[in-house]
Amino acid sequence: MAKTLYDKLFDSHVVTEENGTALIYIDRHLVHEVTSPQAFEGLRLAGRKPWRISSIVATADHNTPTNGWDKGLSGIADPVARLQIETLSDNIREFGAKAYFPFMDSRQGIVHVVGPEQGATLPGMTVVCGDSHTSTHGAFGALAHGIGTSEVEHVMATQCLVQKKSKTMQVLVNGTLEKGVTAKDVALAIIGKTGTAGGNGYAIEFAGSVIRNMSMEGRMTLCNMAIEAGARAGIVAVDDTTINYVKGRPFSPKAEQWDAAVAYWNTLHSDEGAKFDATVILDAKDIQPQVTWGTSPEMVVGIDGKVPSLEMAKNEVQRGDWERAYAYMGLTPNTSISDIQIDKVFIGSCTNSRIEDLRAAAAIAKGKHIAPNVKLALVVPGSGLVKAQAEQEGLDKIFTEAGFEWREPGCSMCLAMNADRLASGERCASTSNRNFEGRQGQGGRTHLVSPEMAAAAAVAGHFVDVRDLS
């Protein structure tokens, strides 16, 4: 029978199955400082050891500062944050890992940037991490999703996860994207269509000509945002783009293993005629650069659009949500998106902090300067290696000459656990993934956009259509 890619990945990892509840084997376990300490403590209390240490790749990212690295660990002003970062090092020392990139290591960075960059994420793998944006790794034709801390402990102890099979959704994006329209815009346009609950209970496979023509970094951006559509996992079929990206990375297979791996990876696509439980179709020509206006990623419109009015809400519950969103965001219905002035800009996060993102933002910022009303424009590379690559290409100079701050890698102002955050009432053009109330700082107002759109907003001081800049 014709199988979907999700079925192939799931079925090939089933250890046992009873009444629809399966035990699935986990190939790669990514670990960071925030959701692991209680899991390690649980192992310690029960006298358990990790089942397979070689599956664990760890780094510190959520809490790490993006400046003051010359002072080392003592540069972390918050003692609670410092303890959590040190606790990860202590735990890895005690329990072990295949690889650990601690705070300030040249390869440290956001776990979802580091994994693929190191070749620690491979096609056909099951990948978990105590972080919802683990869906990112599905870009490689891997089954990857976020788990809670109890499950982090469970995977460490047993190498398995108790799972029920998800339903499958195919999201087809056909046609060709206009210049200036990016993977981020595709992701936001999809969420605008499905809603943030649309993917609940589903694994999404992204397909169609737009995805086939997308780089691996674009596919990672897209799969990263699957969780914002409600789907724990987003997947893209393996093709030459995938294989070329993986080749030669530190943990990628070598020599004869490489050939065997490639032969297997080339089977990782949905079979002709495979049935999905749901299908969503978008046409690339309808996708403009997107800007969120509210406090949920589904509250999104094109750059030509306006903040919607209450009559457009689908029901009473949504009316209530929108009214609260207007008040929180300090916006009135029918305001043109291009009239919204910003205070800060954040370019970074596991969604958009890879080298292509930085190149695209730098191309917009080159030879220009951030607007006088923009108090801070941060560029936070996704990893130490992305940072080094960008510096080699001179991108850091382009950004700093344009008035941006060039920082050290980490999650930074995407979730504002470190010192990088919005003050109450500040409005930010952000390349991150969540515009929830308080996400980037209590009272802070987030508008999600692509790196190009964020850079363009930094220069103009308000949102502008990047398509008009070339």
Partner 1 sequence: MQAFTQLNGLVAPIDRANVDTDAIIPKQFLKSIKRSGFGPNAFDEWRYLDQGEPGMDNSKRPINPDFVLNQSRYQGASVLLTRENFGCGSSREHAPWALEDYGFKVIIAPSFADIFFNNCFKNGMLPIVLNAGVVDGLFNQVAVNEGYKLSIDLSAQTITTPAGEVHSFEVDAFRKHCLLNGLDDIGLTMQQQDKIKAFELKHQQAQPWLFN
Please give the residues from 347 up to 386 whose contact with partner 1 meets the rule CB under 8 A: none
Written as six digits, the tokens of 53 are 């240490």
CB of 462 to partner 1, least distance (A): 26
d(CA 427, CA 450): 16
Q: Is 87 in the site for partner 1 (CB under 8 A)?
A: yes
DSSP string, 277-319: SEEEEEEGGG-PPEEE-SSSTTSEEETT-BPPPGGG-SSHHHH
Interaction mask 101-140, partner 1, x per CB under 8 A: ---------------------x-xx----xxx-x------
Q: Is 142 in the site for partner 1 (CB under 8 A)?
A: no
In the block, which residue shows the tokens 């979730």?
A: 415
Contact with partner 1 (CB under 8 A) among 105, 239, 271, 321: 321
- The residue among 174 and 200 lying less far from partner 1, judged by its C-beta, is 200
- The residue among 147 and 358 lying less far from partner 1, judged by its C-beta, is 147
User: 420 near 353, Cβ under 8 Å?
Assistant: no
DSSP string, 197-262: TTTTTEEEEEESHHHHTS-HHHHHHHHHGGGGGT-SEEE----HHHHHHHTT-TTS--HHHHHHHH
- Number of Cβ atoms within 10 Å of the Cβ of 133: 27
Q: Is 279 in the site for partner 1 (CB under 8 A)?
A: no
28-31 sheet: strands from edge to edge: 99-101, 56-59, 28-31, 126-129, 143-146
- The residue among 183 and 268 lying less far from partner 1, judged by its C-beta, is 268
- The residue among 23 and 371 lying less far from partner 1, judged by its C-beta, is 23
The angle that helices 183-194 and 216-224 make with each other, rounded to 10 degrees, is 30
CB of 254 to partner 1, least distance (A): 9
Contact with partner 1 (CB under 8 A) among 2, 77, 179, 197: 197
How distant is the alpha carbon of residue 293 from its chain centre? 20
Contact with partner 1 (CB under 8 A) among 7, 61, 117, 151: 151
- Number of Cβ atoms within 10 Å of the Cβ of 40: 22
Binding to partner 1 (CB under 8 A) within 220-239 occurs at 227, 230-232
Binding to partner 1 (CB under 8 A) within 419-448 occurs at 424, 434, 436-439, 442
Residues that contact partner 1, how many (by CB under 8 A): 82
d(CA 347, CA 414): 9
Q: How far is CA 195 from CA 153, 207, 262, 384, 452, in A?
A: 32, 19, 36, 35, 24
Contact with partner 1 (CB under 8 A) among 73, 83, 172, 419: 83
In the block, which residue shows the tokens 């693929």?
A: 116
- The residue among 15 and 312 lying less far from partner 1, judged by its C-beta, is 15
Q: Is 317 in the site for partner 1 (CB under 8 A)?
A: yes
Rounded to 5 degrees, φ, ψ at 284 are -55, -35
- The residue among 281 and 423 lying less far from partner 1, judged by its C-beta, is 423
Binding to partner 1 (CB under 8 A) within 34-73 occurs at 34-35, 37-38, 41, 46, 48, 51-52, 54, 62-63
In the block, which residue shows the tokens 């190009």?
A: 452
Written as six digits, the tokens of 16 are 């046992």
CB of 420 to partner 1, least distance (A): 12
CB of 309 to partner 1, least distance (A): 19
- The residue among 78 and 239 lying less far from partner 1, judged by its C-beta, is 78
- The residue among 280 and 402 lying less far from partner 1, judged by its C-beta, is 280
Per CB under 8 A, the segment of 11-19, 183-191, 237-245, 330-338 that binds partner 1 is: 11-19
CB of 461 to partner 1, least distance (A): 27
Contact with partner 1 (CB under 8 A) among 68, 106, 150, 281: 150
- Number of Cβ atoms within 10 Å of the Cβ of 254: 10
Residues 6+ apart with CB under 8 A from 189: 282, 286, 287, 290, 300
CB of 279 to partner 1, least distance (A): 20
- The residue among 61 and 356 lying less far from partner 1, judged by its C-beta, is 61
- The residue among 147 and 210 lying less far from partner 1, judged by its C-beta, is 147
Binding to partner 1 (CB under 8 A) within 255-274 occurs at 257-258, 260-261, 264
CB of 153 to partner 1, least distance (A): 7
Q: Residue 153: exposed, middle, or buried by beta-carbon count in 10 A (0-12, 13-18, 19+)?
A: buried
